[in-house]
Amino acid sequence: QLQLQESGPGLVKPSETLSLTCTVSGGSVSSSLYFWGWIRQPPGKGLEWIGNIDYSGTTYYSPSLKSRVTISIDTSKNHFSLTLASVTAADTAFYYCGRSWTSANRFDPWGQGTLVTVSS
């Protein structure tokens, strides 16, 4: 059974860089069938797609975040990562990783999520 688990600091200072990793178990990030994605949700608000990456490192980003986001993949460690630069309080959110299909970009399963707070 595929499982995803987010990890990283829960507190980031304004103007610094947020970095999270999603570790995949029960499956391989090297499969050409899937995308691996990041989605976020400010507390009490809706869902926002951040971006996807495939096994070769090809990325797709939300236009609203594209200038600050980098998603990378490490097939040797079976994980993928998110960095978000120059964060502000507006970036405070639950961050989820998820798997989608290259044939159908819907997420299943999702990681449990991790709360990242931007504050000094």
Distance from C-alpha of 57 to C-alpha of 93, rounded to nearest angstrom? 25
59 binds other proteins (CB under 8 A): no
56 binds other proteins (CB under 8 A): no
**Min dist. Cβ of residue 120 to other proteins (A):** 26
Binding piece for other proteins, criterion CB under 8 A, among 9-17, 72-80, 83-91, 106-114 = 106-114
Tokens 């507190």 belong to: 11
Tokens 């996807």 belong to: 52
105 binds other proteins (CB under 8 A): yes
Binding piece for other proteins, criterion CB under 8 A, among 9-17, 23-31, 69-77, 103-111 = 103-111
Say whether the peptide bond before residue 42 is cis (omega within 30 degrees of 0). Answer: no
* Length of the chain measured in residues: 120
Give the chain's radius of gyration (CA, Å).
Answer: 13
Residues that bind other proteins (CB under 8 A): 37, 46-49, 52, 60-63, 96, 100, 104-113
